[in-house]
Chains A and B, each alone.
Chain A
Amino acid sequence: MSLASTASAKDQPSMLARLFARQELALLVCLILVLAFFSITVENFFSVRNMTNVLGQASLALTAGIGCAIVFISGEVDISIGSLLATIALPLIIIMNDTNSLLLGVGGALLFGLIIGVVNGYLVAYAGINSLIVTLGTMFIMRGGVYLYTGQRAIPDDASLDSFIALSDGRLFNIVPYSAVIAIALLVAFGYMMQHRPFGRQIYAVGGNQEVARLAGYDVRRVKFICFIISALLATVAGIILAARVGSAQHTAGLNFEFQVVAATVLGGVSLAGGIGSLTGMALGVLILQFLSNGLRGLGLPTEWQLVITGMIIIAAVAFDEAKRRRANGG
C-alpha cells in the first residue's frame, strides 16, 4: 500500500505540464496565438465584423463536427457527412418550393437525414461492417444519387422564404449570425450530454473499451447506432444552413467537407481510436483552422498554400499529442 501511494505522489507532473495536459487549454492558447498573429499582420482582422463572419463560416463545421466527434469518441468514423449535406438539400428545397413551408422542408430534410443515419448505424452497429467502409459507401452512393437526380444542375430555392434566407444572412441583435447561434446552442447541449448525461458517458465507455462497456451492462450496438443517427441529423442541420447560404440545392455542395471536419476534429484532440477527446476540443480545432484560413487569405496567400499549411498543422498537432501521451505513460 505504501509503495503504491508513494508512486502516485512521485508521478505528479509539474504545474505547467498539468496545465498542458488539458488538451483544451493547449488548443485555446493556439487559438489565441493565431488570433494575435493575424490581428497584428492583417488589417481589419480583429474586427467585430470579421470575427462574426468567420464564426458564421465556421458554423457548418462546428455543427457537423459535433456528430463527427461523437462518432469518433464511440470508436467509429463517419465520412458520409459531406455527401449528406448535398443530399438533404434536395428534399429541403423541393418541399419548400412545393409547399412554401420552411417547417415541412426542414422536416423532410431531417427525416431524410434520419434515414441515412439509421442505414449507417444499422450497417455498422448491427451488421458489424467497418464504419469507414460503410460511410465511404454511403458517401459515394449519396453523391452519385445527387448527380443523377439533379443532372448536375443546381435546383434554385424558388420559394425564397424570409425565414429560410434569415438562416444565411440573419444576425441575432444584428451581430451574431443565426447559423453561429444554432451551432453554439447545439455545442452546449451536446457538450452537456457528453459530460453529464449517462448516455454521453456510455459513448465514452464504449469507445474507451467496448468489452468493458458490455460487461458493465451497456448495449454497445445501440450506443453506436444512436451515435450515427446523431451524426447524420447534425450534418442535416449543417446542410440546411448551407442550402440557405447558397440559395439552392447543388450537386457539389459539401464536397470534401467531411475531411475538413475530420481534420478539425483530430486537431481538436479527439482520438480516432475512441474514448478520448471533447466537443470543446473539436470546436477549438474548427475555430483554429477557420481563423487560420481567414487570416492567410487576408495576408494574400492563395488557397493552395492554405491546404498545405493545414495539412502540416494537423500532422504536427497529432505528433505533439502522441509525444505528450508517450511521456505521460513514461515510455
Chain B
Amino acid sequence: MSVDFLHPGEGAAIDTNVPALEMRGIGKRFPGVVALDNVDFTLEPGKIHALMGENGAGKSTLIKIMAGVYGKDAGTIRMRGREVDIKSPRDSLKEGIKVVFQEIALISEFTVAENIFLEGYPTGRTGSIDWKKIRADSAALFNRIGFNVDPAARTGSLPVSQQQMVEIARALAHEARVVVMDEPTSSLTPNEVSLLFTVIRRLAALGIAVVYVSHKLDEVFEIADTVTVLRDGRHISTRPIGEHTNDTLIQDMIGRRIDNLFPRQRGAAGSKVALSVEKLSTAKKLIDVSFEARAGEVLGFFGLMGAGRTELAKAIVGYDPIISGTIAVDGQRLAPHDTRTGVRLGIGLLTEDRKSEGLMGELPVYQNASLASLGAFARLGFVDKAKEHQAVQDYVDRFRIKTPSLFQQIKNLSGGNQQKVLISRWLMRGLKVIVVDEPTRGIDVGAKSEIFALIDRLAGEGLAVVMMTSEMPELLGLADRIAVMCEGRLTAIMSREDATQEKILNAAIG
C-alpha cells in the first residue's frame, strides 16, 4: 500500500472480501440485436480480470454500460455491495470507474497535462484552476508510471502511442476503484507494453480491480488472474487463467476450434508486375523506396513504430504527396499524383484508421460499400439504386458481412464487418492492387481469421496485395514475400521461405 500514483492512501480501506463491482443479469438490446443477455460479471479488488470474446460478443457493450455511455435494459450493478444507478459517464466516474477506451478520448487542442485532469480540475480557494498543480502533478504521474510524455505538449501533436499513454495516465490521476482498459496495447511498442503491464500490476497491488480487454492471447496469459469470456452477448465462462490453455480459451470464444488461423487457399503468385515503385521519397518520411508487387501475391511490409509503413501506404495510392520517384500500376504511371488517378489505375487503400479515413459512420452500409464505384451504377448521371443495392448485397453474402440490413448505419457494425465492407468498396471498383494497412487492428481472433482468408482470396483472384503490419504472425502467415522498413528506408526484401523472425527484426532495427 505504499505506492500510489497521485492519491496515496485513498485506496487503503479496500475490503478484499466484497466485490469491487458486481454486475448481475445485465441485459441490453439495440434495434434488431440482443447485445447482452443476462450477463454476470464480478470484479474482485486487487485482481486483473481479462474480458474476452469475438466481434459482437458484447464486450464493448458491457464496458460502455459500466462507463455510463449506455444505459442497461435489465440487471443490477453493485459497487462494494451497494447498488448503484449509473446513468451517465459522470455517475460512473463518481463511482471510481475509469475506462480507457480504445478510441483516443482526448481533446487534441489541450495540453497533455490539461487532458490528464479533464474530469476534475484541481482548483484553488477561489475556485480557479491551479495550473501549477496540474503541471506538477501530471509530470509526477508520468514520472512514477515511467511513461516518457511531455506534459506541456499539445496532445494532438503527439503520435497515437503517446496519446494512448496519456489516456492510461489519466485514468490514474483521480481516485479509482475499477480501471478498465480496452485494447490498451493496440498502438504501443513492446517496451511500452511491458511498462503498461508494470503499471497494471501496481494498480492491482493497490487494491484496484482491473479489467483488461484484449484479443491478444499471450498478453492475457501474461497479465490476467481471471478470464471471463462472452459470446453472442452471453456469459460463457469465468475461470482462473491457470485453468485455461490457448486452445480452451479460443474454444470458449468462438465455440469451435480454429485449426489454422492462416488457411492458404491460393496458388503461387504469378510473375506479372502489378505495382512498381521506384526511388520514392516523401517530405515527411520515405527515402528512396523501390519495390515491385506481383499480381496474385501478398507482399508484407514490416517495421517498428515510425518506420514509415503507413506513410508508404498513403504515398503509393496517391493520398499523400511525394517529392520524387515514380509509381506505376500495371505499367501505367500514377500521374498526377492523387487518389483519383490511383483509383482509375486500380490501386486503393484499406486504411489503418477506419474511423476517420475509411468509414462514413453515419451513412448506411450500402453507401459505404458503393462509394468508389458509383459511376458503374449510374445511368444518365443518376445512380441506379436497384443495381447499387444488388451489387452491395452480393458482397454482403459473399463475405458473410453481419448486418441487419443494407441500410444499417455502418458505425453500428463490428470492426471486422466494417473492414469487410471497406474491402467490398475496393473490390467493387475492380482493383489491381490493394494496399492494406494494419488490416486486423481492433479486430478479434475469429474475425481475424476471416480477414486473413479474405486477403488470401484477394490474392487468389489475382490482385497484388501490399500489406502493412506490425504483427509478426500475420506477416509470416500471410505474405509471399516480406519487405522490412526502418526509419523511412527499405532495409530488406526476402521471400517467405528465407524469412525468420530474427532476420526480420534485425532489418527492422536497421
From residue 102 to 137 of chain B, which have CB atoms closer than 8 A to chain A? 105-110, 114, 118-121, 123, 127-129, 131
Taking a contact as CB atoms closer than 8 A, the residue among A3, A198, A209 that contacts B305 in the complex is: A3
- A197–B128 contact, CB under 8 A? yes
Question: Given contacts A1-B192, A205-B118, is CB(A215)–CB(B109) below 8 Å?
Answer: no
Bound complex: CA of A213 vs CA of B305, how far in Å?
Answer: 29
User: B26-66 toward A: CB 8 Å interface, digit per residue (1/0)?
Assistant: 00000000000000000000000000000000000000000
B residues within 8 A CB of A213? Answer: 107, 118
Judge whether A204 and B109 touch: CB under 8 Å.
yes
For A275, give its contact among B94, B107, B119 (CB under 8 Å). B107
B side interface size, CB within 8 A: 41
Q: Which residues of B contact A331 (CB under 8 A)?
A: 320
Interface contact B306-A215, CB-CB below 8 Å: no
Q: Which of A5-13, A236-244, A289-297, A311-319 contacts B (4 or more CB under 8 A)?
A: A5-13
Question: Which of B89, B106, B131 interacts with A214 by CB under 8 Å?
Answer: B89
Q: Digitize A7-21: 1 where CB-to-B-CB distance is under 8 Å, 0 elsewhere.
A: 110010000000000
B307 nearest in chain A by CB position? A3
Q: How far is the CA of A209 from the CA of B106 in the complex (A)?
A: 8
Q: How far is the CB of B68 from chain A (nearest CB, A)?
A: 9
Cβ contact within 8 Å between A205 and B107: yes
Select which of B99, B109, B191 is within 8 A of A1 by beta carbon: B191
Contact indicator B114/A5 (Cβ below 8 Å): no
Q: Which one, B153-161, B344-352, B413-421, B451-459, is touching chain A?
A: B153-161
Interface of A is mostly: helix
In the complex, whether B69 has a CB less than 8 A from a CB of chain A is yes
User: Chain B residues with Cβ under 8 A from A275's Cβ?
Assistant: 107, 109
Please report the C-alpha to C-alpha distance between residue A212 and residue B153 in the assembled complex, in whole angstroms.
Answer: 19
Annotate B389-403 by CB proximity to A: 1 below 8 A, 0 otherwise: 000000000000000
A323 to chain B minimum Cβ distance, whole angstroms, is 15
Shortest CB distance A126–B (Å): 15
**CB-defined contacts of B131 to chain A, threshold 8 Å:** 196
Q: Given A3-B306, A4-B162, do A201 and B121 touch, yes or no (CB 8 Å)?
A: yes
Cα A218 to Cα B99 with chains together (Å): 15
Asked whether any CB of chain A lies closer than 8 Å to the CB of B150, the reply is yes
Query: Inside 8 A of B189's CB, which chain A residues have their CB?
Result: 1, 3
Q: Which residues of B contact A211 (CB under 8 A)?
A: 105
Chain A's closest residue to B118 (CB) is A216
A176 to chain B, nearest CB (A): 27
A219–B68 Cα distance when bound, in Å, is 13
Whether, in the assembled complex, B328 has its beta carbon less than 8 Å from a beta carbon of chain A, the answer is no
Kindly supply a per-residue 1/0 record for chain A positions 212-227, scoring 1 wherever the CB is within 8 Å of any chain B CB and 0 otherwise: 1111111100000000
- Asked if residues B150 and A218 are in contact (CB atoms below 8 Å), the reply is no
Is there an interface contact between B148 and A4, defined as CB atoms closer than 8 Å? yes
Pair A11/B157 contact, Cβ less than 8 Å: yes
Q: A276 to B109, Cβ gap below 8 A?
A: yes
Within the assembled complex, what's the spacing in Å between the Cα atoms of A197 and B94? 21
Choose one: A197, A217, A276; the contact of B127 (CB below 8 Å): A197
Contact B129 A201 (CB under 8 A): yes
- How many residues belonging to A are interface residues under a CB distance threshold of 8 Å? 30
Residues in B whose Cβ lies below 8 Å from that of A218:
90
CB <8 Å contact, A198 and B123: yes
Task: Evaluate contact between A1 and B148: CB separation under 8 angstroms.
Answer: yes
A205 proximity list for chain B (CB < 8 A):
107, 110, 118
B387 close to chain A: CB less than 8 A? no
CB distance from A36 to the nearest CB of B (A): 32
Chain B residue contacts of A5, Cβ below 8 A: 148
Interface hub of A7, A196, A201, A216 (most chain B Cβ within 10 A):
A216
Task: Assess whether A170 is interfacial by the CB under 8 Å rule.
Answer: no
Contact with B along A260-287 (1 / 0, CB 8 A): 0000000000000001100000000000
Given A205-B107, A211-B105, 5 more contacts at CB 8 Å?
A196-B128, A209-B106, A216-B93, A217-B94, A276-B109
| Partner-A contacts on B (CB < 8 A) | 67, 69, 88-90, 93-94, 99, 101, 105-110, 114, 118-121, 123, 127-129, 131, 148, 150, 153, 157-159, 161-162, 189, 191-192, 284, 304-306, 320
Interface residues of A (CB under 8 A from B): 1, 3-5, 7-8, 11, 192, 196-198, 201, 204-205, 208-209, 211-219, 275-276, 328, 330-331
- 21 CB-based A-B contacts, threshold 8 Å: A1-B148, A1-B189, A4-B159, A4-B306, A8-B153, A11-B157, A192-B128, A196-B129, A201-B129, A205-B118, A209-B106, A212-B118, A213-B118, A215-B99, A216-B93, A216-B119, A217-B89, A217-B119, A217-B120, A328-B157, A331-B320
